[in-house]
Amino acid sequence: MKKKIRLGVNIDHVATLRNARNENFPDLNEVAHLLKKINVDLITVHLREDRRHILDKDVEDLKKNNFLPLNLEMAATNEMKNICLKIQPYACCIVPERREELTTEGGLDVKNQKNYLGDFIPEIVANGTKLSLFVDPELDQIHSAHELGVKVVEIHTGKYSRCYKKSNHTVELNRIKNAANYCMKLGIDCHAGHGLNYENVREISLISNIVELNVGHFLISQSLFSGLEKTVKNFMKIINDPSI
Ligand code: PXP
């Protein structure tokens, strides 16, 4: 039987909405509480260098209130590493970050940053946090992650999502399938995320060794129409039974 796919709900854009008015509404902890009630697996937040949505206090509160295991996405900077060591989230996903980008536009270049990441990672792992690297579906990047002793990668599905049902759809889907297979061969847990929605997530969910998805923008946006509870419940249903 196919393994249940875990869902991490990225709540960055709840914070975007809150910050628009500088109030404590919508309240991230209330959202986390609701997500726990409906059996979501993880809360995912990206603490960005410019603090454009999630703030340091949000990360502290979400960890303290402990509604769900916390997955902290962050750049590989010393500032972020210190925060991660202090907060000790359940999981940490290292992402590339450029200030001017709207969202995380590509995967990490693990191959060319091997020495730097090799120095950066061990303290986080030794501190009890499950560490993953956010990479494009490229075998050489996954290979480099493996050489660093990394046990989890998250495959960037952004390019696939953008070309869904367009001419290069199959090419991009196959890149993700190959990457996931390669992870299995190397004994690396394979996660995926970016740009996923009700439609394009079905094929991703059918890839048998993808065990976790992290999804944000679509879920928070769709909640405007259907409400958060219904939207997320529906998404969890789809990823665990893509034929519906
Ligand atoms: N995974 C990672 C590593 C990300 O950086 C993001 C975006 O913050 C996501 C998943 C979620 O992407 P989206 O908001 O497009 O669902």
pLDDT tens series, the chain, 244 aa: 567 999 999 999 999 999 999 889 999 999 999 999 999 999 999 999 999 999 999 999 999 999 999 999 999 999 999 999 999 999 999 999 876 666 667 899 999 999 999 999 999 999 999 999 999 999 999 999 999 999 999 999 999 999 999 989 999 999 999 999 999 999 999 999 999 999 999 999 999 999 999 999 999 999 999 999 999 999 999 999 888 7
- Residue 7's nearest CA partner among 47, 43, 52 is 43
Contact assessment for residue 127 and residue 88, using Cβ atoms and an 8 Å cutoff: yes
* In the chain, where the domains are located: 6-240
11/13 Cα distance (integer angstroms):
5
Cα of 106 to ligand 1 centre, how many Å? 11
Residues in the chain: 244
Rounded to the nearest angstrom, the gap between the alpha carbon of residue 158 and the centroid of all alpha carbons in its chain is 12
Q: Choose which residue among 9, 45, 73 to substitute to test ligand 1 binding: the one with the highest number of ligand atoms within 8 A of its C-beta.
A: 73
Overall fold of domain 6-240: TIM Barrel (3.20.20)
Strands (E), 20-174: 42-46, 70-74, 91-94, 130-135, 152-156
223/226 Cα distance (integer angstroms):
5
Burial of 12 (0-12, 13-18, 19+ CB in 10 A): buried
Cα of 73 to ligand 1 centre, how many Å? 9
* Pocket lining for ligand 1, CB < 6 angstroms: 10, 12, 46, 73, 93, 95, 103-104, 134, 154, 193-196, 214-218
